[in-house]
Amino acid sequence: MVSGVGLGFRREIARKLIALEEDKPKFIEFAPENWMKMGGYWKKKLNEATEKYPVMCHGLSLSIGSPDELDFDFLKDLKEFFDIYNPEVYSEHLSYSKCDNAHLYDLLPIPFREDAIEHVSERLKTVQDYLERPIAIENVSYYTPVAAEMDEATFISEIVKRSGCNLLLDVNNVYVNAFNHNYDAKEFIDALPLDRVKYIHMAGHEQVSPDTIIDTHGSPIIDPVFDLFEWTINKIDPVPILLERDFNIPKMGELQEEVNKLQTIVDKVWEGENASKS
């Protein structure tokens, strides 16, 4: 299993990332939807990158929380893609992005309700069986709950328990949600099944009003999120960590600095004096 800190593979930095000889991230991650069924220049670049780095895949359009039927044509394409690139982790969002037979290409919040838990868990089991690989499901940032019957941590924990899936813990999303919905981020994390965390995401965000942060992936990680990250990884066994940056992508040197900052924390906690947990 890959360990350490990886970086999102984006077209804007593809050539630099492929050419990198020193100070390389430990792995790359990309969305299969952005590369599936694609040939030409970008397929060559993807192949060059995947020859150089271990791969994680982070999906966008599975829409596991959708009221619509699962799209088995899409799953078939996904499976074929995974057969080629063999990602070490396949993760997806605990949200829905398709409804009433229309894709929306963004993450809408699933109502935290008992029937939704059952619905999502059954679908996760079906998808995992079909793909013959586990899914790590990500806690998403959300800006409003919808008709919630329970809190978010209970919702996520029940789905992980009933579906047998793993958890992608997005620490920035926890910070964003805690801010937006006035809860304690550490209490939230403590309420999750941390033994099921197999992957962690870290990213930046943007505060757009006094009471609202939007999860933009367009800024550097802020110090309180680094602090929450360090606090969190003290509680779990080593897993791969990803730096996500999707907008306002800076020069490679700046990204490397951010990757290195995360790696320093990882080394301190998981390989240093605090390593007794693992």
Binding positions for other proteins, rule: CB under 8 A:
33-34, 36-44, 60-61, 65-67, 71, 74, 96, 98-106, 108-111, 113-116, 118-119, 143-148, 180, 212, 214
Of 13 and 241, which CB lies nearer to other proteins in the complex structure? Answer: 13
In whole angstroms, the minimum distance from the beta carbon of 101 to other proteins comes to 5
Of 119 and 268, which CB lies nearer to other proteins in the complex structure? Answer: 119
In whole angstroms, the minimum distance from the beta carbon of 22 to other proteins comes to 28
Of 101 and 276, which CB lies nearer to other proteins in the complex structure? Answer: 101
Of 28 and 107, which CB lies nearer to other proteins in the complex structure? Answer: 107
Of 1 and 102, which CB lies nearer to other proteins in the complex structure? Answer: 102
In whole angstroms, the minimum distance from the beta carbon of 243 to other proteins comes to 22
In whole angstroms, the minimum distance from the beta carbon of 39 to other proteins comes to 4
The CB density around residue 103, as the number of other CB atoms within 10 Å, is 15
Q: How far apart are CA 6 and CA 263, in angstroms?
A: 9
Contact 215, 174 (CB under 8 A): no
Of 67 and 253, which CB lies nearer to other proteins in the complex structure? Answer: 67
Q: How far is CA 199 from CA 43, 217, 269, in A?
A: 26, 17, 16
Pull the structure tokens for residue 205: 């965000």
In whole angstroms, the minimum distance from the beta carbon of 25 to other proteins comes to 24
In whole angstroms, the minimum distance from the beta carbon of 109 to other proteins comes to 8
Residues 6+ apart with CB under 8 A from 115: none
In whole angstroms, the minimum distance from the beta carbon of 197 to other proteins comes to 27
Of 115 and 129, which CB lies nearer to other proteins in the complex structure? Answer: 115
